[in-house]
């Protein structure tokens, strides 16, 4: 084992020192002196969260298959170690070699949610890497961002040398080969980054300029150098079955959020919910072959010793081979004490039969995501779920022995009325009534219906990107309406209601929809002490309010303001597959309350057909 970067006295004073020592089961070990490229993969949150992220495990495994590359990992130090490292002047280090991250060739940071942005600055700061790309030289790593948040990378444009738009399995090899060529030719850092603009899917912020109108909207956005493309196209893996996948994932020493084998069964979604960014940016839906999945399950359970396997996708029920796969997992591993986790299932007879086999019904709850309380609003958001579907699923579940149901809703959706809001309580009551309609001798005690609401955030590349977002006060007022209506129901003792933090949602909306002028706000908030903002015990809105005020920025400009149909968005330079024409058409259909069929029923002409893969090619020879 390498000499640890942290002395024993610091390891003894911090919480969970196992977060920082590496050497876990299946960790890759290479000699750094025998590789040409050192790549450090970063998840800018605490170890337990980062180790649960499948994307990093995939890239970590793929990179380390290449003889010329050594990929290591780093996560955000928790607040206790953050203070100790600053006090002792210890630079942030990678887990595998315990070497400082500033000595690597690349630092790849995955951006999974907007509230991790101050942690990005923490990683750079503790790593001894200048926060802004303009201050870096070849003495510093190339800082690259990936993940879903790069579909609007502009609020972070000053901090990253480049962004990788799309799925990581496609052009990273080309990027690393380009790096080796550039270094061999002794090119400048800028010359290398210009080469990167010629690789589809890579966005280099320094080669694009933005001009603004007097009202603060974007007047123009485009390349500032010849040969740089005006549009950056996302990368898509067309054949998931043949794509790299970690059959020996790293097994942590401490309990993490997803402490199990994760089996990715498909990417994308056919449903077309108009609020859902993932359902749009990961189009088209692509399935993994069932035989490949069976073999992956065998190898991963054997190599990790995990006692649970979870199927990962946006909508597992839409995999055409789900029944065969699930029955195989039950037959092969159920008797060996392996639990099978089945998230993202529609509640139907097949799903309930499966869950009855793999869950302790008395302890488990079922999850429905109606998203809206009224049928009118479910049609607006294109949920494709009727009240009849929900009540029928609940009745099947209650008859099968369940008595706990979780319901997920959104408040602040476009065109929402008070009746739609109260509908959350009314639907919850109808589900409770469905339970109490069952004969007493068939019930298991009282039922428990827990409804939760998050606050709607209009994300990039969704039909709702033209919609204004509600204010904190509007959100909380709507939550109070639901809460009061819950108390007025006949079965109120069986109903519970809770809601997301409005402050956090408001700030998330700013950075989901913002532009590069927010970079200064991020730096100021970080200097104010903002860190781990997605953790309620760490989030402090006053630090952010001060940052906006000092930078002369009004956050409501990015949230509550309606967008014109022809407005230039900060993310319009990205080709995410779904066309703006399609998104506008879906926006109009939403305002008319019209439902669009799912991709398997009818092609809606979203634009993803150009990738020539997945559901777009089903039925073709």
Q: Is residue 196 part of a domain?
A: yes
**Whether residue 301 is found in the same domain as residue 216:** no
Task: Compute the average pLDDT of residues 439-452.
Answer: 90
Alpha helix positions (H), 334-417: 349-358, 375-380, 387-399
Residues 6+ apart with CB under 8 A from 545: none
HSE-CB at 147 with a 13 A cutoff on CA atoms is 21
Q: What is the 3-state secondary structure (H, E, C) of 213-272?
A: CCCCCEEEEEECCCCCCCCEECECCCCHHHCCCCCCCCECCCCCCCCCEEEECEECCCCC
* Top-confidence residue, 403 or 346: 403
Give the pLDDT confidence of 520-568 residue by residue, as tens digits.
999 999 999 999 999 999 999 999 999 999 999 999 999 999 999 999 9
CA distance 559 to 234: 26
Q: Is residue 221 part of a domain?
A: yes
Query: Is residue 442 very low, low, confident or very high in pLDDT (cuts 50, 70, 90)?
Result: confident
**Whether residue 26 is found in the same domain as residue 64:** yes
CA distance 270 to 279: 8
Q: Are strands 208-212 and 448-455 parallel, antiparallel or unpaired?
A: unpaired
> What is the DSSP secondary structure assignment for residue 340, as one 8-state letter?
E
Quick one: tokens of 203?
A: 């966005």
**Whether residue 38 is found in the same domain as residue 76:** yes
CA distance 274 to 587: 8
**Whether residue 222 is found in the same domain as residue 277:** no
Q: Are strands 286-287 and 266-267 parallel, antiparallel or unpaired?
A: antiparallel
| 422 CA to centre of own chain | 30
CA distance 478 to 459: 21
| 615 CA to centre of own chain | 22
Per-residue confidence (pLDDT) for residue 361, from 0 to 100: 59
**Whether residue 185 is found in the same domain as residue 275:** no
Count of other CB atoms within 10 angstroms of residue 391: 15
- Quick one: which of 32, 41, 13, 179 has its CA closest to 123? 41
Q: Is residue 423 part of a domain?
A: no
- Quick one: which of 52, 75, 20, 42 has its CA closest to 255? 52
- Residues 504 and 539 sit within 8 Å (Cβ to Cβ): yes
Q: Is residue 605 part of a domain?
A: yes
Instruction: State percent of the chain over pLDDT 70.
Output: 99
CA distance 98 to 74: 10
Task: Compute the average pLDDT of residues 281-303.
Answer: 97
CA distance 288 to 324: 13
**Whether residue 208 is found in the same domain as residue 279:** no
- Residues 205 and 199 sit within 8 Å (Cβ to Cβ): no
**Whether residue 272 is found in the same domain as residue 141:** no
- Residues 239 and 228 sit within 8 Å (Cβ to Cβ): no
pTM comes to: 0.96
Per-residue confidence (pLDDT) for residue 334, from 0 to 100: 85
Per-residue confidence (pLDDT) for residue 78, from 0 to 100: 98
> What is the DSSP secondary structure assignment for residue 201, as one 8-state letter?
T
**Whether residue 268 is found in the same domain as residue 218:** no
Backbone angles phi, psi at 34, to 5 degrees: -105, 15
- Domain termination site, one of 217, 233, 249: 233
Query: Is residue 1 very low, low, confident or very high in pLDDT (cuts 50, 70, 90)?
Result: low
- Quick one: which of 408, 423, 441, 334 has its CA closest to 373? 423
Q: Is residue 312 part of a domain?
A: yes
> Cα–Cα–Cα angle for 159, 160, 162, nearest 5°?
160
Give the pLDDT confidence of 110-125 residue by residue, as tens digits.
999 999 999 999 999 9
- Quick one: which of 315, 169, 322 has its CA closest to 238? 169
- Residues 342 and 323 sit within 8 Å (Cβ to Cβ): no
CA distance 583 to 461: 7
Task: Compute the average pLDDT of residues 195-222.
Answer: 98
Helix or strand or coil: residue 298?
helix
Burial of 247 (0-12, 13-18, 19+ CB in 10 A): middle
Quick one: tokens of 149?
A: 């948040």
Count of other CB atoms within 10 angstroms of residue 533: 25
Is the predicted pLDDT of residue 271 greater than 70, yes or no?
yes
Task: Compute the average pLDDT of residues 32-59.
Answer: 97
Q: Is residue 549 part of a domain?
A: no
Is the predicted pLDDT of residue 621 greater than 70, yes or no?
no
**Whether residue 189 is found in the same domain as residue 86:** yes
- Residues 611 and 201 sit within 8 Å (Cβ to Cβ): no
Average pLDDT, the chain: 95
Burial of 377 (0-12, 13-18, 19+ CB in 10 A): buried
Quick one: tokens of 366?
A: 């079922």
CA distance 120 to 160: 10
Helix or strand or coil: residue 187?
coil
CA-based R_g, the chain, Å: 25
**Whether residue 211 is found in the same domain as residue 282:** no
Question: Residue 329 belongs to a domain with what CATH number?
Answer: 3.30.750.210
| Domain count for the chain | 2
Q: Is residue 180 part of a domain?
A: yes
Q: Are strands 208-212 and 218-223 parallel, antiparallel or unpaired?
A: antiparallel
**Whether residue 181 is found in the same domain as residue 326:** no
* Residue range(s) defining the domain that contains residue 284: 260-345+577-621
Q: Is residue 510 part of a domain?
A: no
**Whether residue 180 is found in the same domain as residue 305:** no
Give the pLDDT confidence of 347-391 residue by residue, as tens digits.
777 788 887 777 765 667 888 899 999 999 999 999 989 999 999
């Amino acid at each position: 084992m390498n000499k640890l970067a942290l002395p024993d006295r610091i390891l003894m004073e911090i919480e969970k020192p196992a977060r920082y020592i590496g050497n876990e089961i299946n960790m890759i070990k290479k000699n750094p002196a025998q590789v040409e490229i050192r790549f450090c993969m970063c998840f800018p949150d605490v170890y337990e969260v980062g180790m649960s992220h499948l994307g990093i495990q995939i890239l970590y495994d793929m990179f380390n298959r290449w003889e010329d590359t050594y990929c290591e990992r780093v996560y955000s130090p928790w607040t206790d170690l953050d203070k100790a490292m600053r006090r002792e002047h210890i630079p942030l280090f990678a887990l595998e070699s315990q070497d400082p991250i500033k000595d690597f060739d690349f630092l790849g940071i995955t951006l999974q949610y907007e509230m991790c942005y101050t942690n990005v600055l923490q990683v750079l700061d503790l790593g001894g890497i200048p926060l802004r790309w303009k201050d870096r030289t070849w003495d510093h790593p190339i800082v690259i961002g990936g993940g879903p948040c790069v579909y609007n990378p502009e609020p972070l444009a000053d901090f990253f040398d480049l962004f990788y738009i799309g799925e990581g399995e496609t052009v990273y090899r080309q990027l690393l080969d380009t790096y080796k060529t550039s270094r061999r030719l002794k090119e400048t850092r800028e010359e290398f980054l210009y080469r990167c603009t010629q690789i589809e899917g890579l966005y280099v912020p320094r080669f694009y300029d933005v001009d603004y109108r007097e009202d603060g909207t974007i007047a123009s956005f485009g390349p500032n150098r010849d040969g740089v493309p005006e549009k950056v196209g996302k990368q898509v893996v067309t054949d998931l079955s043949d794509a790299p996948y970690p059959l020996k994932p790293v097994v942590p020493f401490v309990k993490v959020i997803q402490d199990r084998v994760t089996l990715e069964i498909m990417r994308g979604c056919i449903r077309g919910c108009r609020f859902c960014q993932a359902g749009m940016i990961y189009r088209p839906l692509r399935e993994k072959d069932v035989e490949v999945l069976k073999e992956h399950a065998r190898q991963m359970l054997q190599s990790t010793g995990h006692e649970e396997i979870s199927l990962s996708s946006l909508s597992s029920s839409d995999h055409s081979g789900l029944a065969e796969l699930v029955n195989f997992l039950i037959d092969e591993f159920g008797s060996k004490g392996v639990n099978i986790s089945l998230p993202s299932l529609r509640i139907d007879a097949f799903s309930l039969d499966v869950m009855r086999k793999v869950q302790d019904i008395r302890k488990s709850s079922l999850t429905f995501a109606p998203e809206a309380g009224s049928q009118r609003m479910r049609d607006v958001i294109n949920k494709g779920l009727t009240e009849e579907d929900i009540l029928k699923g609940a009745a099947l579940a209650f008859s099968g022995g369940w008595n706990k149901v979780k319901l997920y809703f959104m408040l602040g959706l476009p065109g929402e009325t008070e009746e739609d809001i109260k509908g959350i309580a009314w639907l919850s009551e109808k589900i409770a009534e469905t339970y109490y309609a069952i004969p007493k001798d068939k019930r298991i005690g009282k039922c428990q219906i827990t409804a939760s609401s998050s606050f709607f955030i209009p994300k990039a590349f969704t039909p709702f990107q033209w919609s204004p977002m509600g204010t904190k006060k509007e959100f909380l007022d709507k939550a109070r309406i639901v809460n009061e209506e819950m108390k007025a129901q006949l079965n109120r003792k069986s109903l519970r209601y809770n809601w997301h933090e409005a402050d956090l949602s408001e700030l998330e909306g700013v950075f989901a929809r913002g532009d590069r002028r927010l970079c200064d706000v991020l730096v100021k908030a970080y200097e104010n002490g903002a860190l781990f903002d997605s953790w309620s015990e760490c989030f402090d809105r006053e630090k952010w309010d001060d940052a906006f005020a000092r930078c002369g920025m009004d956050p409501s400009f990015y949230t509550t303001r309606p967008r014109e149909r022809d407005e230039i968005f900060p993310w319009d330079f990205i080709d995410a597959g779904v066309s703006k024409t399609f998104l506008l058409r879906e926006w109009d259909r939403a305002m008319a309350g019209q439902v669009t069929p799912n991709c398997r029923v009818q092609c809606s002409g979203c634009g993803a057909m150009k990738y020539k893969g997945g559901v777009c090619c089903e039925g073709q020879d």
